[in-house]
Amino acid sequence: MANKRKPGGRRPPSSDGPSRSSASELRARKTSAENVWELVHPRCARDRADDLEEVQKMIDGGEAEIARDELLWLLNGCSDCLVAHRMLGELALADQDLRLARGHFGYAFEIGSKALDRAAAKGNMPYRLPANQAFFEAGKALAYCLRELGKADLAAEVVARLLACDPSDPLGVRHMLDVPAPESAPGGPAPVDG
């Protein structure tokens, strides 16, 4: 459960500090029940779940600036909060700031990829597992941003990684490489489902 704030104040940031420990890093593990891979979000990120739900309500209520500030604050002391980076990327994309969106989606995708690499994860990491969903959503949005920025080769690398993790392609990333990028992307298609 998240630490509760005092009325009118913020709860103190996590003491994860600058030195990164395995407790503050995104990890990957093989599930015993299904013999597939899943991401293990650090405790600091799990502790922020209630706050992230509140931020989503802010976004849904049209309070994007407040939501952005809150997300940035939540990342203080928990830079591996993949969901917060994905949400910041979505806010930047809504503002048509492809470079900033690419940065947030890219960071989320990178920390997920590094977690898989550290675990030497080989095999299926299905999107259907809730712990994996933000990684796939950030990856799809990253590929979209890269394609729109004229970096189709990098977009292809991201798509290849996503397909290697879940060949069933639940988010339909495979088609992103088959369809030419539109000439302009104002208000373009939403890169992330649901």
Residue 5 lies in a domain: no
Residue with tokens 């809150």: 70
Chain segment 3-35, per-residue pLDDT in tens: 433 333 444 343 333 334 445 689 999 987 777
Residue 144 lies in a domain: yes
Q: Which of 55, 54, 77 has the alpha carbon at shortest distance from 68?
A: 55
Residue 101 lies in a domain: yes
Please tell me the predicted confidence (pLDDT) of residue 182: 44
Residue with tokens 């993949």: 82
Chain segment 98-151, per-residue pLDDT in tens: 999 999 999 999 999 999 998 887 778 999 999 999 999 999 999 999 999 999
Domain limits at 148?
29-178
Please tell me the predicted confidence (pLDDT) of residue 24: 67
**For residue 156, what are its two tokens?**
């292809």
Strands of 8-136, DSSP E: 27-30, 37-40
Tally of domains in the chain: 1
CATH no. for residue 126?
Answer: 1.25.40.10
Q: Is the pLDDT of residue 187 over 60?
A: no
Q: How many CB atoms lie within 10 A of CB 150?
A: 10
**For residue 157, what are its two tokens?**
């690398």
Residue 17 lies in a domain: no
Residue 140 lies in a domain: yes
To which H or E segment does residue 46 belong? helix 43-46
Residue 39 lies in a domain: yes
Please tell me the predicted confidence (pLDDT) of residue 178: 63
Output the DSSP codes for 140-183: HHHHHHHHHTT-HHHHHHHHHHHHHH-TT-TT--HHHHHSPPPS
Residue 190 lies in a domain: no
Residue 54 lies in a domain: yes
Q: 3-class DSSP state for residue 60?
A: helix
Chain segment 153-183, per-residue pLDDT in tens: 999 999 999 999 999 999 999 988 764 444 4
pLDDT band at 184 (very low <50, low <70, confident <90, very high): very low
Chain segment 48-88, per-residue pLDDT in tens: 999 999 999 999 999 999 999 999 999 998 999 999 999 99
